[in-house]
């Protein structure tokens, strides 16, 4: 029997046990895909997000807002294959950590345009803030940070929609996918967002969500409450930057995006 059918990101949301309104996950793969559960009522985003169905196990409809980052982990592949800055993707964290920050370098990896919440398909990538002191390590760090900046823009859009609807902003972000194993990236993500970023014990949550749906259908699991109780965090990254500093960094990012779009 076919016990469950779901799109990959809806399955990942389910695998992260995000069953309640306001719970959010971000999948860090070649691109990044963030979903926040919005409950049983269809809502329209006013901040550049898509409305999608969430995976459901009853006749009661469930919905989510979704935002897509076109180039996430693919920027690390570009460092490896395009610039030959690293031999393997696993080397990027050490290279990026060899400098204390990006040295003012900002990368907008719009290799295939910009996705949500900007929706600028004709944009192309830029690297700004270069100086005589810029090294490949600064560019690697800016590349990693660009993944977090794009994801932060998504969550901020989701929070604006939540506040407009009278709901609470997202209180924590659950993360999964191949790039979420990068501790530097996850810490910077928490710093930008100002909320905990939680990495689960099982990061292949798309497959896990499919297994959960099939398990519920076949009676292996009794309820979503049982699944929530099974979910385990492997590490929680807490913000270390001040709110003012995070706001300032996001302002620099948005300035870089405006420069990119203006080209």
Model pLDDT for residues 70-104, shown as the tens digit of each residue? 999 999 999 999 999 999 999 999 999 999 999 99
pLDDT tens column, 207-252: 999 999 999 999 999 999 999 999 999 999 999 999 999 999 999 9
- In angstroms, the CA 18 to CA 205 distance is 11
pLDDT tens by residue, 154-211: 999 999 999 888 888 899 999 999 999 999 999 999 999 999 999 999 999 999 999 9
Name all domains of the chain by residue range, CATH numbers in brackets.
Answer: 8-71+153-237 (3.30.420.40), 74-149+242-262 (3.30.420.40)
User: Structure pTM?
Assistant: 0.94
Residue with tokens 């099974």: 230
Q: How far apart (Å, rounded) are the C-alpha atoms in residues 202 and 234? A: 8
Residue 52: phi and psi, rounded to 5, are -135, 160
Q: Give the pLDDT of residue 1.
A: 86
In this structure, are strands 106-108 and 32-39 parallel, antiparallel, or unpaired?
A: unpaired
Confidence of residue 262 (pLDDT cuts 50, 70, 90): confident
CA atoms within 13 A on the CB side of 227: 26
Helix, coil or strand: residue 104:
coil
pLDDT score of 263 more than 80: no
Phi/psi region, residue 28 (left: phi>0; alpha: psi -120 to 50; beta: rest), is: beta
Backbone angles phi, psi at 180, to 5 degrees: -75, -10
For residue 5, the tally of other CB atoms under 10 A from its CB is 12
DSSP code, position 241? S
Q: Is the pLDDT of residue 46 over 80?
A: yes
Contact 98, 141 (CB under 8 A): no
């Amino acid at each position: 029997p076919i016990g469950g059918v779901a799109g990959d990101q809806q399955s990942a949301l389910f695998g992260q046990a995000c069953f309640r309104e306001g719970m959010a996950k971000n999948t860090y793969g070649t691109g990044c895909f963030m979903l926040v559960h919005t409950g049983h009522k269809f809502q329209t985003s006013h901040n550049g997000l898509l409305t999608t169905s969430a995976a459901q196990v009853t006749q009661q409809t469930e919905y989510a807002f979704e935002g897509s980052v076109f180039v996430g982990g693919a920027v690390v592949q570009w460092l490896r294959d395009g610039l030959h800055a690293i031999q393997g993707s696993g080397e990027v964290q050490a290279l990026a950590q060899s400098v204390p920050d990006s040295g003012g370098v900002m990368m907008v990896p719009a290799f295939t345009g910009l996705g949500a919440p900007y929706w600028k398909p004709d944009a192309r990538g830029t690297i700004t803030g270069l100086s005589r002191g810029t090294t490949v390590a600064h560019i690697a760090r800016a590349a990693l940070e660009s993944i977090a900046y794009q994801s932060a823009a998504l969550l901020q859009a989701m929070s604006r929609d939540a506040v407009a609807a009278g709901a609470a902003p997202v209180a924590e972000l659950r993360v999964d996918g191949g790039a979420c194993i990068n501790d530097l990236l996850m810490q910077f993500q928490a710093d930008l967002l100002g909320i905990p970023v939680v990495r689960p014990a099982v990061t292949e949550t798309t497959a896990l969500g499919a297994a959960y749906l099939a398990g519920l259908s076949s009676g292996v699991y009794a309820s979503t409450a049982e699944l929530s109780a099974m979910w385990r965090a492997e590490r929680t990254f807490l913000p270390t930057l001040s709110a003012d500093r995070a706001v300032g960094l996001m302002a620099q990012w948005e300035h870089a995006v405006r420069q990119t779009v203006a080209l």
